[in-house]
Structure 1
Amino acid sequence: MADRADDRHDVWLDGAHAGTLHRARGGDVTFAYAASYQALRAAPSLSVSMPRHVTEHAPEVTMPWIDNLLPDNDAVRARWAAQFDERRPTAFNLLRHMGADCAGAVQVVPAGEQPQDGAGSTPLAEAEIAAHLRELRADDSSWAFEQHGGRFSLGGQQGKFALARGADGSWHQPTGRGASTHIFKIGVDGVAHSAAAELVTMRAARALGLSVASVESAWFEDQAAVVVERFDRLAADGSRARRLHQEDMCQALGLWRSAKYESDGGPGVRDVAQLVARAVDRRDLARSRDDLARAVVLNWVAAGTDAHAKNLALLHVGARTVLAPLYDLVSASLLWPADEVRYKARLAMKLGGEYRLRALGARHLERAAADLGVDAVWLADVAVSYATAWPDTVRDAAAGEHDLLPGDVAGQFVDRAAARGADVVRALRVRAGGGEASARPGGATWVPAHERAGRSVVGHWRTHPGR
């Protein structure tokens, strides 16, 4: 299908017509809200970067926003363009075909159509899911169940696909009307056990008290998958799942996907924290700010080297905005040898002005606290708590996953987590009174857990007399 000089797509948000995308003759795409949507009292904006009280939005924000609805993987985009006979794999062209089930509550359809006009979903047998997992492992650009007319679009780089789970546990391929509820992942191509590392990292993070999307492993014949429950779906008993609107930080800041890493000109910790302070509802701001700070610390402790701006999101529920649960967490400390993590790993966002894990210490954490707008003493407490608990939470998260994670690999995960946790505690230590303790802002020092007179003493902060 040849590109048209002038074209329109309708954008629907949670079942309401939000507005229209318009592509001009030169290829620029703009967005205009529908007056009926602007009149709604408690509806979210399409994006923080495109507030609904402003009717028309220019290409500078519209085009990056819709581009971020699609996979980062250019091979997937090229495959879709070829499948639908599109001359160019632009976001506008591809969303015409694959926009019926995007991230959040967004549905993009050709102008004049309603997303519920299409068929709802196709039941899938275990053998069909297994066959598609094999196909995806052979070619990680094969995201969609093309033979069933799958119509979903997700961001990200690694191979994945989205399905809906019925109340009876059966799996279905949504084709437009119904919303997908779960995302299937097989890991990063060429990185052994990366899917298992994501499963373990997500579970460990949840055990540490962070808000994290639910995750499980599943087998279909001889094929394993990590299955993530979508936090942007609200399942009602016996009825179709409702879409909840969300957007990643690149979308909220009006940035292209190429700027997802800070080193490529993307946002840093301070930028994200300022966005949260500006966008989140006042009633939820303290919690969202603390959740962001915990996520930043976790990515340091776990060596989350791919924790870029597209792996953080805002969740819009009506007119209320909060920081979304965490997703796509993968600890490099589980996959890489300890020395490689220690001396070569770099964070996706600077912590207190530093990328390199080997260079990070207490002073960087204190600077990060200022960037995040949180108390430095509290953030140091979080860091020590996470670092000391990391090996045990990894061990518990890996337990019971013997089919996905062989015993020797699970043991390696735990050993590497222990080495990483020790590195973080060591990075926080300073010499104090001839011994080693962790520097706490405000003049206290961290005393690690130890034995005294045959009794166990838990780790604790010690305040120096006279302070």
Structure 2
Amino acid sequence: MNDQLEVELFGRAIGTLSIDGPLRSPEDWAFAYRADYLRSPAAIALSVGLPLRTQPFTGAVARNWFCNLLPEGGVRQAVADRLRLPLDDDFALLAAIGGECAGAVSVSSPGIRQASGDDAETDLETLLYLQGEDAGEGAWALAGTPMRLSLAGAQDKLAVIAEADGRLRLPRAGEPSTHILKPDSRRFPGIRDAEALGLALARRVGLNAASASLVEVMNRPALLVERYDRTRAADGGIHRLHQEDFCQALGYPEQLKYEDKGGPGLAACSSLLRQLALGPIAMRGLLDWVVFNALIGNADAHAKNLSLLCGHEGRRSLAPLYDLVPTLYLPQSLVDRTPAMRIGHATHIARIAVEDWTAFAGAARYGRRFVLERVRTLADAVLVYLPETAMRIIEQGGDEARVARVATVIADNTGRMLDEIRKDSLRGR
């Protein structure tokens, strides 16, 4: 079995990922930058946690970063089953599907490149049809040959290219995709409309969030999300941006994305941005992410839903907001109400009090008054723009009753939080 993989960034070989040991355990992993890459004046680090240096990175620090590129849950199971690989063999999965990951990184066997795309089937509906109408979770991720693409996360999704005429197709070998296509969940029907509302509302209140639209593919509702890790050049060409999520940047394994399971909290995320000296725009962006998720009732805002972007010049910034799903509308028996990253001492996403915001401000090193004012400002904006935003989602094809129900949940939660802030203000604290 192959024990060495080549790592590329922006299409350039930068290092080698290897594993040495019969048990293929985390301690056996190693990543080393290439000497010629380190000599280049244009070299940039693959990660905040993997700075440029001649010595290799070994053990969990190497394993954790690369394994965060892999899909999770049922999608991972489907990929492993299709490729007949052990579910727990991270290295083998990377070798099989790491050819194009989120951002601009690529992991592949030395000397192996994707086959020419000239003869590859790229028609999206044809490939989805071949998966079968009753295909289970992970079916969309499996559409396309050869299996060379890895998108992290537990939700089924597929990287596609949206043509100017609206047609969707799979990218050819080496061609950057422009959008992520996410089918409506079979386990949580209607989550597409809820996520579309969350993203559209964030943009409407002035936040930097991914752009998305409602589509239907093979008679199945789906959300088409424009990739924020892509840029369009003056000549119309699409170029990749590098990205890493906060689990990667902070060195956590993918299974520890929730704080109550041992993952990073908001104080650690805030400290990272300050350590990188990304400035007030990034600090405000993190605060807005926390506040907006609290207002819409998204208890699943974990560390893998925050990312850093990095261009060819090596300058990092906070990525646009994404995966803004108001999970509060889903049945409590199915979705935990505990915030994925703690806000003070709140144990329920709809019961965050002023005291919790005060505790969060202290832990993440924000001014208390600044935090409360931002909660109030965003809450006001959400209540103003929610009705028209919900109507636009319905006009795009969202289910009217479902969108209305999600909007009501958001309005009730936001209104409650705004009342808390106003009462505190009247007390003169």
TM-score (norm 2): 0.89
Deviation at 1:294, TM superposition (A): 0.9
Counterpart in the other structure of 1:84: 83
* Residue-by-residue CA offset, 1:203-243 (whole Å, 9 max, x unaligned): 11111221111111112352221011111112336655221
Quick one: which amino acid aligns to residue 61 of structure 2?
V
3-state SS in 2 of match to 1:288: helix
Quick one: which amino acid aligns to residue 321 of structure 1?
R
Deviation at 1:358, TM superposition (A): 5.3
The 1-side partners of 2:393 and 2:131 are apart by 19
What is the correspondence of 1:159-170 to structure 2 with a 5 Å cutoff?
A: 159-170=156-167
User: Does residue 1:439 correspond to 2:394, yes or no?
Assistant: no
User: Does residue 1:38 correspond to 2:38, yes or no?
Assistant: yes
User: Does residue 1:106 correspond to 2:105, yes or no?
Assistant: yes
3-state SS in 2 of match to 1:350: coil
Quick one: which amino acid aligns to residue 394 of structure 1?
L
Q: Does structure 1 retain, via aligned residues, the 8 Å contact 2:38–2:52?
A: yes
What is the correspondence of 1:253-402 to structure 2 with a 5 Å cutoff?
A: 253-279=250-276, 282=277, 284-317=278-311, 318-335=313-330, 345-357=337-349, 359-402=351-394
Gaps of 5+ in 1: 430-436, 446-467
Task: Name the one with the larger strand percent.
Answer: 1
Report which stretch shifted further, 103-112 or 214-223.
Answer: 214-223
Report which stretch shifted further, 21-30 or 351-360.
Answer: 351-360
Deviation at 1:129, TM superposition (A): 6.4
Counterpart in the other structure of 2:216: 219
The 1-side partners of 2:327 and 2:119 are apart by 37
Given the superposition, is the C-alpha separation of residues 167 and 240 from structure 1 closer, same or farther in structure 2, using an over 3 Å criterion?
farther
The 2-side partners of 1:68 and 1:126 are apart by 27
Deviation at 1:257, TM superposition (A): 1.1
The 1-side partners of 2:85 and 2:124 are apart by 32
2:398 pairs with 405, 408, 415, which one?
405
* Residue-by-residue CA offset, 1:281-304 (whole Å, 9 max, x unaligned): x3x421101100111111111111
Deviation at 1:159, TM superposition (A): 1.3
3-state SS in 2 of match to 1:20: strand
3-state SS in 2 of match to 1:330: coil
Given the superposition, is the C-alpha separation of residues 353 and 275 from structure 1 closer, same or farther in structure 2, using an over 3 Å criterion?
farther
Counterpart in the other structure of 1:455: none
* Residue-by-residue CA offset, 1:51-81 (whole Å, 9 max, x unaligned): 11354101211111111101012x3333333
The 2-side partners of 1:374 and 1:244 are apart by 30
The 2-side partners of 1:427 and 1:123 are apart by 56
Quick one: which amino acid aligns to residue 286 of structure 1?
P
Given the superposition, is the C-alpha separation of residues 334 and 207 from structure 1 closer, same or farther in structure 2, using an over 3 Å criterion?
farther
Given the superposition, is the C-alpha separation of residues 357 and 328 from structure 1 closer, same or farther in structure 2, using an over 3 Å criterion?
closer
Q: Does structure 1 retain, via aligned residues, the 8 Å contact 2:202–2:209?
A: yes
Given the superposition, is the C-alpha separation of residues 171 and 238 from structure 1 closer, same or farther in structure 2, using an over 3 Å criterion?
farther
Please give the root-mean-square deviation of Cα atoms over the aligned residues, in Å.
2.8
User: Does residue 1:185 correspond to 2:182, yes or no?
Assistant: yes
Given the superposition, is the C-alpha separation of residues 95 and 234 from structure 1 closer, same or farther in structure 2, using an over 3 Å criterion?
same
Report which stretch shifted further, 152-161 or 121-130.
Answer: 121-130
Report which stretch shifted further, 124-133 or 17-26.
Answer: 124-133
Identity rate, percent: 30
Given the superposition, is the C-alpha separation of residues 358 and 214 from structure 1 closer, same or farther in structure 2, using an over 3 Å criterion?
closer
Quick one: which amino acid aligns to residue 142 of structure 1?
A
3-state SS in 1 of match to 2:36: helix
Deviation at 1:249, TM superposition (A): 0.7
Q: Does structure 2 retain, via aligned residues, the 8 Å contact 1:293–1:372?
A: no
Deviation at 1:123, TM superposition (A): 6.2
The 1-side partners of 2:72 and 2:59 are apart by 20
The 1-side partners of 2:102 and 2:136 are apart by 23
Counterpart in the other structure of 1:419: 412
Q: Does structure 2 retain, via aligned residues, the 8 Å contact 1:120–1:178?
A: no
Gaps of 5+ in 2: none
The 2-side partners of 1:85 and 1:15 are apart by 29
What is the correspondence of 1:10-89 to structure 2 with a 5 Å cutoff?
A: 10-26=6-22, 27=24, 28-73=28-73, 75-87=74-86, 89=88
Q: Does structure 1 retain, via aligned residues, the 8 Å contact 2:75–2:141?
A: no
The 2-side partners of 1:157 and 1:81 are apart by 14
The 2-side partners of 1:141 and 1:154 are apart by 11
Given the superposition, is the C-alpha separation of residues 229 and 125 from structure 1 closer, same or farther in structure 2, using an over 3 Å criterion?
same
Task: Work out which structure has the larger RCO, using CA pairs closer than 8 Å and 6 or more positions apart in sequence.
Answer: 2
Counterpart in the other structure of 1:460: none
Report which stretch shifted further, 368-377 or 10-19.
Answer: 368-377
* Residue-by-residue CA offset, 1:338-395 (whole Å, 9 max, x unaligned): xx99xx8221111124333454211221222223333322221111122233244332
Given the superposition, is the C-alpha separation of residues 310 and 124 from structure 1 closer, same or farther in structure 2, using an over 3 Å criterion?
same
Quick one: which amino acid aligns to residue 21 of structure 1?
L
Counterpart in the other structure of 1:462: none
Deviation at 1:169, TM superposition (A): 3.9
User: Does residue 1:241 correspond to 2:233, yes or no?
Assistant: no
3-state SS in 2 of match to 1:349: coil
The 2-side partners of 1:56 and 1:126 are apart by 41
3-state SS in 2 of match to 1:225: strand
Count residues in correspondence: 423
The 1-side partners of 2:162 and 2:130 are apart by 17
